[in-house]
Structure 1
């Protein structure tokens, strides 16, 4: 017994442990190919120049030779660690030399690797993987300067990308990527190509220049430094990607690309050139850039034909925060190289922000010595290069914030850029912290100089999250003088938004203590006088209808059946109609009581809120259809507006909850996105912190969040319905194909097909043949109409706010403020109304550029509805709105 318990059992345990150890050893084992591949990828962990001879020996000693493994490791290094590309080019240059291990009459090892590398590049090109393609072109450009690739084939490769710019109807995203491939390849290979063909070099620059000139209007619309007129002088605080590329190429071309060596490492130039008579340069094969990929997986809203709605790509504007002696001028060759290298690191290492932060701070190791200031306490001090000696941390923060503030939206999620800056501060707080502080002050200053409202909203979001990671420590007293500005000034609006975001991340009392006393007063309009929380209108016994509301609340607390609630509400309605005067809307009172009672129950937690809504969902839908009885039915916009008003009133001290409740009401189809849009333009300002100030209707960041939530909901529903229709149609196609295949198989088996099979045909599937498809098509049609209505109502709302006609002014006799270039130049004297109109106009710009793919679908109808009334009028405000609309919908070049 003891043997069974301890002997055999122990042996089993020992055997299991041995097997686990064997599995661990097998998992940890690396084949020689894997070790060599890892060594290539990790080149330069200490010093790339010193590691190259050792890596060369490892590659040459590796037997048997495995060219695909070597080229794969090189492709990974080039596309995922672009800052190492000059050193990988040097490695390939070394491998072109003969060795004792070389096989007679065989191509050099470097040539064999390059030939296999080209296959991988071709696969990137076929998949239209633009970033990988561009980085491979960087590698080929370095090899051209190293005389491993022929000048004529490299020039031909770059020309194949400039040919994309001449395509009819080419999208900006495709043209921009093609221009970057050609322009950056020329930037690196320029010394060799200019010597070979000055004319060819000029042709490439001219092709990029010609295309860039066609994007002037688009640049005006997405510049973060807002300008009223598209003819205004470009701001010195922003730079556009293609513009700085062209400026760099023109500068280099004027000096015959002799300055290239002053901004890009070229370690391979220390080796003697390969004799062309011994080994001719590699001829890159001819390529053709594939056309744009269009996936037919959706349906067009207007025609019903299959198409795909793609997100529009706009010119990329980067904001500048520091002078040229602190961070490099992006219009100069060194500045362009540094900025694009840092951007590539930020884009590639999104999956690991900590690794990204480390690599950004180690970037000087991969650039030319003397480019940046030495780190504090550095043992080796390098003499600064002439005209350089920049601050690394300021350059990094400027680059990351530039990518974060790209309009209409950044390429990555906002939280990535925010978290990346936090990691940078943690790695080097003494150097990154001051750069972050200077960036905040510079952005804050630019708020009154035309910083776009969407960029300002993101700035407030970043500021609040960053402060939450570092104890909410900020020198608020620096901004106390700005409290003398009008309450709607962008700087004061920024303070309110940033503090509101901070309160969401902490709690009211803690944030209140971080502010100076002068900012804590209600008259400062900086922080609310009470913490965010519910505001149940019927809690006070002195409030009218308190008893009626308490009775309804008790029914909900007791989880009464819906039928009992309906009966009680009918009795309540009869009682109110008897006691109230005739002009009082009894139905509106009952809707307010019901919704506020449900929200009061749901205010304990988010799950309580969802449970309350789901339990009484039929009741809410009945109320919003206009009826109190169980029958209901119909559509009643006033009833839905009452529900939204009641929700906004209940959470008037917590605007985040207003947006959340509105979203859930749309999700449960209690209200439609169009209802939220209409309510926002009519009543949204009443929820704001400044509602008591009155004044003309305006849209702040809060109202824009409500509009964006409604539009995203409408567009998202259409996208889901479109995919469902596409999936059902594919199923039908597959089913018909199977039926046809069986019929063909039967005909082949039978030597003499039967008469009924000779005329048999696979029936065409129509919606009536497939109930599921018919239902999906009806839903798609209904949701498309809802989407169109929501977009139309939003556009009409903006037009009525910013360019009201005489009839609009008669209906809403509030002051009208027109934003013009002359008025903007006089902004120092602006008051509340002017800044209100300015912010509303900014959100109109964001609406047009962010939703341009959807607006283009209905452009003719929407234009007719909103702008036709201005056709015979020379209205300055209307003309400005039409200009923005035409650019966003592609009506103006």
Structure 2
């Protein structure tokens, strides 16, 4: 856990009126706290005060100073220029008093030698964030003339070598680019005057890598990614592209722009002589191979951090800084570092974000209305902070941290400064809502709806819905109308149906508006109506379950019921009706609460397994039909609460009543949205939730089985080694080696289980690919609609699109998300997936295959 995750909380309880806890603090602890509290009032003045205090301590205090600097640099990076100034002052050759006996070059060198040992540990651990922040610290020390420029140049060159590694992952290369770029931007002025350095040797490899990055950027564009034939977006910026643009701009100016990017308090601190420290030579260790659930023969796996990072651009350059400029890059990265580091303490994070102007140059941000400097700054702090947070929240395929962290952080900001942060949040919501018409990715749009609903729940669900009344004239499947429905659905989950209805204008409460769900999100027992022809039969089953009858008794009753109904209702599929009655009755007795549901499922597991195996029918192929009937019964029962459908299906997969492949195939075939009586072959957000849940279940089972097998093999090897050692101790040299130990039954069983689950995983992925293919390119109608969606000419005329086109657009988006999220698994089974194009492939089919090939790394 971050050191400051707790220390900042303790800081607020500090008192000067004799806090008894102070008696237990050692001088070393007090000194470390003093270093970490640097800047609470005036950082420039406090630097000299802390330096004087350090110099009155004995020489044994060095390790404490180093520890304080290490924590400060890596956990309070906004203070790095001031920590560099502190070290420069401590390295001054001219002590100001006799008591400052440890001040001077030797003391500064000693501190740096100890600090370097910690940096080497970060290198060995490949702790990239800490490495990058230490590089920033060293670069500032170069500008402060404490570290020699040629040794810093050597460190950056060692980091740049990573880019030339064979098969380097994008995640590793991205970190190396950031380290080298930021170090060069800070120390570049010193390099220009050093004949031993050649900036082109650093800049050229960075430029080459960024321009030819192997990461398939097209897959993670947040806006209009289906249509994009380039790897750039007008409303989003990619982190490495921005870093390169900022670096090249600074290089063109001779690194003079560095004077406008960050404080340089050390420029006023005089120093005698030449730099006192040369950084040792280093090599960046190779990265460890982390398979994370992928088979051992898999290579080139894309992990979570291996995607390009596109941040949505919400505001104009006049409101928030452009990250592609040097100052914009440093401001944005500084804010993102705070968000990342203080994930363990969102309240402290919010406070530091709003105090960020203290650590930037004067005039960077506009002052508050009550301040004399109001309007004098370049940019609006609150808009910049909110845009930075939302940029991370909307990263594809997944955000860096849990979604709830970013949502809670925005809430904390609003609580700290409602008059300033509230308007920034409102502007962000309106801007993101506007991007829905411009092709905002469905995954981002869903996160937007989720954030919107949770944020509204923290502020009494107050929103000016009337602003969007005019959009009710758009097609029902237009992204803006889908967003309204999804946001209201999320709000109802967080509150009550009647309360949310009252927050909506009258026009949105109409059933024709399609904003509200058709009814209160509760159960819907299809056979509860006495007018239903199966009402009496269902009540009998329901009473039997309520009476806690044994599973065998219920199965026998269902067989009798089937025989009775077959003689009286020959026009219906009686078997499907019986399954529907049984499943819905079971869900009905478990609908009171989640615990009731789990108890009902666990009590009647034999009944469910019998139904899933086609126990009441002997027809060929009935097992697949039986599982489809069970899934359809769940959807019918919870049709007014789709969230419960996902929960029930997850439990059915957990208890192996149905398989992930069953859920995926059924979702594409039976859970497609219906618009005005027409069922479209597509993938909606609801369908994606079910598909993702099934894929995660299949992948998770394989990961668990692989870990279990690895543990058993390790145990088996250890037992074999002990057996061999024991036998060798009693054997003569002339004797033969002992026979190998046979595999244990547990190991054999684990191998079979892994093989079976791996087949299931492959089948689930194959079903998902085939399902998306049927929706987008199979069939004349689907291919025709998909072709119109992906052609630029038709995209420009999207105002004329109807429900079919917008559903196809959403399906394309979820297909992209599928390829992004499951790239490692798709690559693992690339050889067996259908990747061949027909000779006369339609444009939609070509685009479909192109995306799949990008995900599998076949076109990189």
With the shorter chain as reference, the TM-score category is over 0.9
Conservation of the 8 A alpha-carbon contact between 1:370 and 1:382: no
How far off its partner does 1:199 sit? 6.7
Equivalent of residue 461 in structure 1, options 420, 432, 450: 450
| TM alignment of 1:213-612, pairs within 5 A | 213-215=211-213, 218-232=216-230, 234-276=232-274, 280-295=275-290, 300=295, 310-311=303-304, 313-378=306-371, 381=373, 384=376, 389-581=378-570, 584-612=572-600
Call closer, same or farther: CA 1:476–1:619 in 2, change over 3 Å. same
**Residue of structure 1 in register with 2:80 after alignment:** 85
Q: How do residues 104-183 of structure 1 correspond to structure 2 at under 5 angstroms?
A: 107-183=105-181
Q: Determine if the alignment matches structure 1 residue 75 to structure 2 residue 63.
A: no
Q: Report if the CA contact (8 A) 1:44-1:51 is conserved.
A: yes
Deviating more after overlay: 843-852 vs 26-35:
26-35
Cα contact 1:226–1:452 (8 A) shared by 2: yes
Equivalent residue of 2:237, what SS?
strand
Residues 95-119 of structure 1 show CA distances to partners (whole Å, capped at 9, x for unaligned) of: 0013234669985311110111000
Q: Deviations over 1:274-303 (max 9, x none)?
A: 312xxx4311111111101125786727x5
Aligned equivalents of 1:475 and 1:519: distance in 2?
12
Q: 1:383 Cα shift?
A: 8.6
Helix, strand or coil at the partner of 1:239? strand
Q: Are 1:696 and 1:815, in contact at CA under 8 Å, matched by a contact in 2? A: no
Query: What is the CA-CA distance between 1:699 and the residue it aligns to?
Result: 1.2
Aligned with 1:847 (options 818, 821, 834)? 818
Query: Following the alignment from structure 1 to structure 2, what is the Cα–Cα distance between the partners of residues 762 and 25?
Result: 68
Provide the TM-score with structure 1 as the length reference: 0.90
Aligned residue runs from structure 1 range 730-809, under 5 A: 730-744=714-728, 746=729, 754-755=731-732, 758-759=734-735, 761-765=737-741, 769-805=743-779
* Distance 1:859-1:297 versus aligned 2 partners, 3 A rule: closer
Q: Structure 1 CA distance, aligned partners of 2:734 and 2:99? A: 71
Residue deviations 1:102-140, cap 9 Å, x none? Answer: 669985311110111000000000000000000000000
Partner of 1:886: 853
Segments of structure 2 that go 5 or more residues without pairing to the other structure are 1-18
Q: Deviations over 1:417-462 (max 9, x none)?
A: 0000000000000000000000000000010101111110000000
Look up the match of 1:189: 187
CA contact (8 A) 1:60 1:101 kept: yes
Are the counterparts in 1 of residues 158 and 282 from structure 2 also a CA contact under 8 Å? yes
Retained in 2: the 8 A contact 1:317–1:407? yes
Match of 1:614 among 602, 606, 624: 602
Cα deviation digits, residues 44-102 of structure 1 (max 9, x gap):
11111111121112211112523222111110000000000000000000000132346
Change beyond 3 A, Cα 1:58–1:102: closer
Partner of 2:697: 713
Question: Are the structure 2 counterparts of residues 698 and 198 from structure 1 closer, same or farther at C-alpha, using a change threshold of 3 Å?
Answer: farther
Mean alpha-carbon deviation: is it higher for 56-65 or for 108-117? 56-65
Question: In 1, are the aligned partners of 2:222 and 2:440 still within 8 Å (CA)?
Answer: yes
2:572 alignment partner, SS class: coil
Cα distance change on mapping 1:383 and 1:327 into 2, 3 Å = closer
Partners in 1 of 2:186 and 2:784 — Cα distance?
62
> Which residue of the partner structure matches residue 8 of structure 2?
none
Aligned residue number for residue 704 of structure 1: 688
SS across alignment from 1:65: helix
Indicate how the Cα distance of structure 1 residues 89 and 106 shifts in structure 2: closer, same or farther if over 3 A, else same.
closer
> Are the aligned partners of 1:300 and 1:307 in contact in 2 as well (CA < 8 Å)?
no
Task: Assess if the C-alpha contact under 8 Å between 2:702 and 2:757 holds in 1.
Answer: yes
Whether the 8 Å contact between 2:215 and 2:308 is mirrored in structure 1 is: no
Q: 1:306 to 1:482 in 2, by over 3 A?
A: closer
Between 655-664 and 65-74, report the one with greater CA deviation: 65-74
Q: 1:348 to 1:106 in 2, by over 3 A?
A: closer
- Following TM superposition, by how much is the alpha carbon of 1:194 offset from its aligned partner in structure 2, in angstroms? 2.1
- Aligned counterparts of 1:203 and 1:50: Cα–Cα separation in 2: 39
Unaligned runs of 5+ in 1: 1-23, 748-753
Which of 27, 36, 60 is the matching residue for 1:32? 27
Q: Contact 2:368–2:374 (CA<8 Å) still a contact in 1? A: no
Closer, same or farther in 2 for the Cα pair 1:762/1:105, shift >3 Å? farther
In structure 2, distance between residues paired with 1:123 and 1:669? 46
For residues 338-395 of structure 1, what are the alpha-carbon distances to aligned partners after superposition, in whole Å with 9 as ceiling and x for unaligned?
00000000000000000000000000001111111112323x63893xxx52110000
CA distance in structure 2 between the aligned counterparts of 1:453 and 1:113, rounded to whole angstroms: 52
1:667 aligns with 2:641: no
| Matches of 2:844 and 2:301, distance apart in 1 | 34
The question of whether the paired residues in 2 share the 8 Å contact of 1:625 and 1:633 is answered with no
Alpha-carbon distance in structure 1 between the residues aligned to 2:560 and 2:845 = 51
Q: Name the CA distance, whole Å, in 2 between partners of 1:192 and 1:632.
A: 82
Match of 1:751 in 2: none
Structure 1 591/59 Cα, relative in aligned 2: closer, same or farther at 3 Å? same
The size of the alignment, in residue pairs, is: 839
Change (3 A) 1:371 1:505: same
- Cα 1:571–1:296 change in 2 (3 A) is closer
Q: Give the secondary structure class of the aligned counterpart of 2:369.
A: coil
Q: Do the aligned partners of residues 781 and 197 (structure 1) sit closer, same or farther apart at CA in structure 2, a change above 3 Å counting?
A: farther
Distance 1:30 1:787, change over 3 A: same
Indicate conservation of the 8 Å contact 2:153/2:197, yes or no.
Answer: no
Asked if 1 retains the 8 angstrom alpha-carbon contact of 2:218 and 2:231, the reply is no
Q: Cα gap change, 1:764/1:173 in structure 2, threshold over 3 Å: closer, same or farther?
A: farther
CA distance in 2, matches of 1:642, 1:684: 12
Q: 1:365 to 1:495 in 2, by over 3 A?
A: same
Q: Which residue of 2 aligns with 1:681?
A: 668
Shift of 1:307: 11
For residue 312 of structure 1, report the CA deviation from its aligned partner.
5.7
The 2-side partners of 1:697 and 1:708 are apart by: 18
